[in-house]
Amino acid sequence: MAALVASTRELFTEGVRAVLETWPVLQIAVDNGFGGAYSQQKADWMVDAVQKYFHDNSDLQEYEVEDFLSEIMNTEFDTMVDDGSLPEVALQVCQMFKQCQQGKLDEVKGQISQLAKKKSVGRAKAVTRKGVEETDESEDEDAEAMECEGGDAAGTPSQAPSRPADPPAAPSEEVEDGWTVVARKKK
């Protein structure tokens, strides 16, 4: 993909920013500090990195952009994107780049304004379930699994559990690249 002139490049950068700011995975990572204390700065840097990636590489394919975004999310935000959104985000960015190359700047501006409206509607948030009065059985099991056994927050022993203790967790196995796979415990 050929290099863009300065004004078109700025429009493309604005488009990349609009796409990334409406990407729920990145929003959640930034809002919850998955990238550490500088999560927002990393998200801002990511816009420039993607724009530069297009500028420095010719004839990029969607899968290459997808891999690039995945690598950034993994290294900078410790996040493995597994929700199916990567191909969509890569496609949006690639389409914007092609439109900028073809001089379809009004179309790009229209897409940016649509994304800005989408952004103003609301950001995705990771929230905890507090104050929920009615829960189903699976939620009760999840809540029990989250509680510490043997004591409360003050360090005093808690009352005896209402059900027998769970069997020890299945041993985890280490696979390539230092990742540890933890198997789900059997019920």
* Gap between the Cα atoms of 181 and 65, Å rounded: 27
Predicted pLDDT at 58: 86
173: part of which helix (H) or strand (E)? strand 173-174
* CA distances to 20, 24, 71, 101 from 39, in Å: 13, 14, 16, 31
120 and 35 Cβ atoms separated by less than 8 Å: no
Least confident of 35-49, 105-119, 129-143: 129-143
What pLDDT, in 10s, does the model give residues 97-133? Answer: 999 999 999 999 999 999 988 877 655 455 555 544 4
Cβ contacts of 93 within 8 Å, gap of 6 or more: 15, 16, 19, 50, 54, 65
Residue 139 in this model has a pLDDT that exceeds 50: no
* Gap between the Cα atoms of 81 and 184, Å rounded: 21
User: How does 21-58 read in b/e, with b if 16+ C-beta sit within 10 Å?
Assistant: bbbebbbbbbeeebbeeebeebbeebbeebbebbbeee
Instruction: Map out the domains of the chain as residue ranges.
Output: 6-121
Task: List the one residue out of 163, 149, 130, 121 whose CA is nearest residue 22.
Answer: 121
Predicted pLDDT at 161: 46
How crowded is the C-beta side of 184, counted as CA atoms within 13 Å? 3
Predicted pLDDT at 166: 52
Report residue 184's pLDDT band, with 50, 70 and 90 as the boundaries.
confident
29 and 87 Cβ atoms separated by less than 8 Å: no
Residue 29 in this model has a pLDDT that exceeds 60: yes
Within 10 A of 96 (CB to CB), how many other CB atoms are there? 24
Q: How large is the average pLDDT for residues 52-73?
A: 94
The single residue listed with the structure tokens 């496609």 is 91
Predicted pLDDT at 176: 62
The answer to whether the pTM exceeds 0.75 is: no
Report residue 85's pLDDT band, with 50, 70 and 90 as the boundaries.
very high
